Amino acid sequence: MGYGNDSQWQEYLGEINQALKLDPKYGPAYNYRGNAYHELGQYDRAIADYTQALKLNPRLAAAYLNRGVAHRKKGNVDRAIADYSRALKQNPYLPQAYYLRGVAYENKGDHDRAIADFNRSLKINPSFAEAHFNKALACEKAGRQAEAPPAYRSFIQYSSPEYDVQVRYALERLRTLEQSARSAAPAAAR
């Protein structure tokens, strides 16, 4: 989009408001304006605009997805999950929706459902680095340690430079998990 700071988002809001004056029934414009409000931290206004976009176009999966993100930012994880699920009803091939729903399940401590959604996301987009990372974390929390190392390795493989901190964490977790597995192997052989 090319917008980064608050003044640029305010300018973008002005442009969208002009577009809505020309065509107040154009649902995607409300979705775009909701995105601007979201970037400005105005989550209630963002949710209102996403809801208006959905009134005008109930099949707009992006608006469900975006509204879910805004609900999660406000701490309403159940509403976020419901919106991610609605987005997936409109388009079951949205890896981001499965990923975000997985993160929301993880926020609730439902590790198994989170892992299932991360797996669905990765089935659609095998190079989705964040899904690999969060799957690894969820596997560890769920006590499924054997599943975590491959997910960490995939995260490292697909991550880009902005994930430097997470890559270092993944490498450390890999070392720890592999060392634990080696230590457990001789004990199991006795």
59: DSSP letter? T
Residue 69 carries which side chain, given as an amino acid letter?
A: V
Q: What is the pLDDT of residue 4?
A: 64
**Same domain as 68, residue 29:** yes
Any domain includes 166: yes
CATH code of 119's domain: 1.25.40.10
d(CA 78, CA 68): 9
Which residue among 75, 106, 129 closes a domain? 75
Q: What is the mean pLDDT of residues 162-185?
A: 93
Any domain includes 164: yes
- Locate 26 and state its tokens: 């154009």
- Locate 108 and state its tokens: 């609730």
**Same domain as 60, residue 108:** no
**Same domain as 102, residue 182:** yes
Any domain includes 70: yes
**Same domain as 50, residue 97:** no
d(CA 184, CA 190): 10
**Same domain as 122, residue 63:** no
Which one has a higher pLDDT value, 172 or 4?
172
Give the Cβ contact number of residue 188 at 10 Å.
6
Spatial CA neighbour of 81 closest among 60, 56, 106: 106
Any domain includes 177: yes
Indicate if the pLDDT at residue 2 is higher than 60: no
Number of domains in the chain: 2
d(CA 65, CA 83): 6
**Same domain as 160, residue 105:** yes
Render the burial of 115-149: b for 16+ CB within 10 Å, e for the rest: bbbbebbbebbeebbbbbbbbbbbbbebebbeebb
pLDDT tier for residue 1 given thresholds of 50, 70 and 90? very low
Q: Which domain holds residue 178?
A: 93-190
pLDDT tier for residue 3 given thresholds of 50, 70 and 90? low
Q: What is the mean pLDDT of residues 97-106?
A: 98
d(CA 46, CA 71): 10
- The reply to whether the predicted model has a pTM over 0.85 is yes
Say what angle helices 111-124 and 129-141 make with each other, to 10 degrees: 160
**Same domain as 69, residue 108:** no
Q: What does the longest C-alpha to C-alpha distance in the chain come to?
A: 77
d(CA 165, CA 155): 12
